[in-house]
Amino acid sequence: MVAGLIFIATVVIAGVIYLSKSPETSTIYVPAKTLVEHYASNEKSADKQYLGKTVAVSGTVAQILGDSPYSILLEGGSGYVQCEFKTKPATEIEEGNNLTVQGLCTGYLLDVILTNSKIITDETN
């Protein structure tokens, strides 16, 4: 009886935690070009989909912008995705590398902007 109640309580709590967390913590996978095209064609609709969300953006490194903060541009067709890193990645990044960068999408200026970025897959080797 007690064990049954504990089991039910655990399932309910786990369910609540899952439901309350899933919209914020799920990562949206998107190619840099798709993300840039969406923002360039309709910023409001793109904001609805990506603003404040964690996104994993795949693309080719177009430029290393600098070291403070460490940031790079990913090629996105008509524009770029600018990724600011919390800490400089351990792997040396070069222009032309294909990467997937995960970060928080904060919106669109000249580039689509990611903050608190980190590399989740790289093809530098």
Partner 1 sequence: MSNAQRLMDRNGKVHFFSEAPLEDIEATNKQALAVLDLSNGKVAVSMLMKGFHFEKSLMEEHFNENYVESDKHPKASFSGQLEGFDASALDNITDSLQFPASGKMSIHGVTNDVETVVTFKPEGGKISVRTQFWVKVDDYDIDIPKMVISNIAEEVLVTAQFSFERS
How many CB atoms within 10 Å of residue 70?
17
Q: Which of 61, 45, 70 is nearest to 123 (CA)?
A: 61
Query: What is the x/- site pattern for partner 1, positions 27-66, by CB under 8 A?
Result: --------------------x---xx------------xx
The nearer residue to partner 1, 40 or 104, going by C-beta atoms, is: 104
- Pair type for strands 28-31 and 112-122: unpaired
CA atoms within 13 A on the CB side of 16: 6
Is residue 109 part of the contact set for partner 1 (CB under 8 A)? yes
Q: Which of 77, 84, 89, 120 binds partner 1 (CB under 8 A)?
A: 84
d(CA 76, CA 58): 10
Is residue 104 part of the contact set for partner 1 (CB under 8 A)? yes
Q: Burial-class residue 113 by CB neighbours within 10 Å (0-12, 13-18, 19+).
A: buried
Q: Which of 107, 118, 120, 124 binds partner 1 (CB under 8 A)?
A: 107
Is residue 87 part of the contact set for partner 1 (CB under 8 A)? no
Residues at the site binding partner 1, with contacts judged by CB under 8 A: 47, 51-52, 65-66, 68-69, 71, 82, 84, 104, 106-111, 113, 115-116
